Chains A and B, each alone.
Chain A
Amino acid sequence: MAETKLMKGNEAMAEAAILAGCDAYFGYPITPQSEVLEYLAREMPKHGRVVMQAESEVASINMVYGAAGAGFRAMTSSSSPGISLMQEGISYLAGAELPCLIVNVNRAGPGLGTIQPGQGDYFQSTKGGGHGDYRLIVLAPSSVQEMADFVYLGFDLADKYRNPVLMLSDGAIGQMMEKVTFHPYTVPEKNKPWATVGKPETRERNYITSLFIQPERMEVHNQKLEAKFKQIRENEVRFEEINTDDAEYIFVAYGLSARICQKAMDLAREKGIKVGLFRPITLFPYPYQRLNELADKTKFMLSVELNSGQMVEDVRLGVNGKIPVEFFGRLGGMLPTPEDIVHQLETLMQHHGNR
């Protein structure tokens, strides 16, 4: 039977990692996600799994590389500055096509910033982050439940495509307590014939590399990666829609800002404003196509983010000029209230109505 508990997002994610058959976790403390390492340091050994506090995020991500290259389910988590430090390693993982799960409990930046929640890492998460041509599959949870669910999904997608998966959460979802149900999950049997486990006589040697010194071979590798990203774009788009059927206006928001927008939507509906919520769940691949369809029956969209306007660029790409796409956000770890968002919506309605 599925078990329901009251847990912090970070701890639910850690517990899900154990249930998802995560063989190894490597991490370095940073607020607001140190609970993950603390939880796993306590729990992983009970399950005979590997958990280690590394000397830095640079080391953690490279330990993940080693473990993933040997065919194990490996994961790390951190928050913004730590994720920045991992970018070289993430690029190597993507280049070498190693599956793994990376969790960013986003805090506000740049620099050391603040430990309060933010969404300023959207560009870094979705547009590459590290060097070279690659994409991560990016999952954006908006509840404690999804922080757990996306661990299973993340590992499965990582293995399916041999690509790192990033869960982009934030300091609020990671820290808040909610009910969470751990659904039954069967850890898939290991089938990684490419893993470096020691070369038996029966097969050629395996090697994990992102190095292709001849440009002709590098291009072939790049094309192979691109073909994979195309497949991911075609097959893995995920989103949630609430009240979009009759909506004249649509909030577009992910993660924590989607939670706030949901409340704002309810307030606006009470006032008779027909507004809906579109919540991208995968930030890569991004649901451009669906936004484009929705634009046909919507007056304008409002992208609400905890940054200075990053995802709004993708909303505009999706809508492709059909209707206005506006932006509203708070910065620095500050959160808009639902009333702020409704007020912004009403102001924009007037502005666009008067044109």
Chain B
Amino acid sequence: MARALPQGGALRQAANGTLRRVPVWLVYALGAMPALWLLWLIVSNGLGFDPVKELEHRVGKLGLQFIVAGLAITPLRKLTGISLLRFRRAVGLLAFGYVALHLSVWLFLDIQLRWAEIGKDIVKRPYITVGMLGFAALVPLALTSNDLALRKMGARAWQRLHRLVYFAALAGAVHYVLVVKAWPPEPLVYLGVVAGLLALRLRWRRRHAVA
């Protein structure tokens, strides 16, 4: 396996030592904080003049951010030696949670179960089509993010399945680019970061194959 940095490094060891003592539940708890904050904003009328859109946007953005965070874990380990692998499942499930909330806000509060419009939106609105594909890709990942599924599937098959997250991440970022009017920088930055994280993997893979 290619490592960019030498193995040693007191800093890395200290970091990993500290991280080992962080319980996984703490990551879930921290990851749930934005949801609680949003809940507070809902009840305190803090989401502005169009609260439904604002909530929809915020949870969508959080979903994408957690997806990106999950994708960054392996590169972080390879580039710096700092390992967050223990928390990857939590980050992934949090991502799924926020995307599921995002979809729910759309279904129940925004489009309000107007099925004729929902059907048309999924087929005709490219950003919805792409978003739906992204969500669909995340579902099997969330369902198999537990020890039982991992054991039953075997590591190889499980790993192969979970490469779907690459697709979901791209879909999420492209979806964001398609949502906005004109070409504001923020969605393009997300797309760039996702593309960069995926490109790193391609490079490592190729090097791995050659070596």
Chain A partners chain B: no
